Amino acid sequence: TQLLEQSPQFLSIQEGENLTVYCNSSSVFSSLQWYRQEPGEGPVLLVTVVTGGEVKKLKRLTFQFGDARKDSSLHITAAQPGDTGLYLCADTDSWGKLQFGAGTQVVVTP
Amino acid sequence: NAGVTQTPKFRVLKTGQSMTLLCAQDMNHEYMYWYRQDPGMGLRLIHYSVGEGTTAKGEVPDGYNVSRLKKQNFLLGLESAAPSQTSVYFCASSSGDVDEQYFGPGTRLTVT
């Protein structure tokens, strides 16, 4: 059974600071998705990465996929309070089934 | 276009009671999923469906049943609720197995 580990579990920073969260797998990812979940809502997809070494940017968010496709990171530059949320990584399986990590709770204070 | 909707939003059950959670999507998606989210454990797949009339077990199916009689609806049933089923339940849908999943707002269920 694949294990997804996310670190840190919790991160609290001030507005304007940078942060990085990590997702590591015990086995190779099929494809990796990053989601953000705000309180009282369902997760929303941020990005999908498929190719080892891939880097994707979404405004102030930078996603990296490890060369061996067993790890990924999400870096946020100049964090804003709107970035507050639970960041989840997930591996896709057959039939689109998702296996999620436990998530990193990010709090950005003004 | 409402996306994915879930009813009810909140529910409190006593041990042994039954209930059905309804998920509806208006995006004509083939695939639908039910997850539960517990503190510190992320989301775990309960059951899923790859088309009308089909269902399959996910990671944690015990104690739950599902039905997909209409393409737009996916029902999750608890026949005899247990305190261990206290959780937040999310429904999701997608157009294909490599496509984005769209999640509903969740149902918070407490079993006492």
The mean of the pLDDT values for chain A is 94
Q: Residue B99's pLDDT band (boundaries 50, 70, 90)?
A: confident
Dihedral in degrees, nearest 10, Cα atoms A92, A96, A99, A100: 90
Instruction: Find the CB nearest B106 among A9, A42, A97.
Output: A42
CB contact under 8 A, B98 and A94: no
DSSP A96: G
CB contacts < 8 A, A to B, total: 62
Q: Distance (Å, rounded) from C-alpha B26 to C-alpha B3?
A: 6
pLDDT for residue B63 is more than 90: yes
Instruction: Enumerate the residues of chain A whose CB falls inside 8 A of the CB of residue B58.
Output: 97
A78–B contact, CB cutoff 8 A:
no
User: Stretch B78-102: mean pLDDT, rounded?
Assistant: 92
Encode pLDDT of A31-43 as tens digits.
899 999 999 999 9
Instruction: Find the CB nearest B101 among A40, A94, A96.
Output: A96
Judge whether A73 and A12 are in contact, CB under 8 Å. no
Strand partners, A48: A33
CB contact under 8 A, B101 and A45: yes
Report the residue of B38, B43, B95, B107 to disrupt the A interface, i.e. the one with the largest count of A CBs within 10 Å.
B43
User: Stretch A63-79: mean pLDDT, rounded?
Assistant: 96
Q: Residue A67's pLDDT is what?
A: 92
Encode pLDDT of B22-43 as tens digits.
999 999 999 999 999 998 888 9
Q: Residue B1's pLDDT is what?
A: 67
CA distance B6 to chain A (A): 11
User: Stretch A49-55: mean pLDDT, rounded?
Assistant: 92
CA distance B82 to chain A (A): 23
Q: Residue A30's pLDDT band (boundaries 50, 70, 90)?
A: confident
pLDDT for residue A1 is more than 90: no
CB contact under 8 A, B101 and A98: yes
CA distance A48 to chain B (A): 9
Q: Distance (Å, rounded) from C-alpha B97 to C-alpha B31?
A: 8
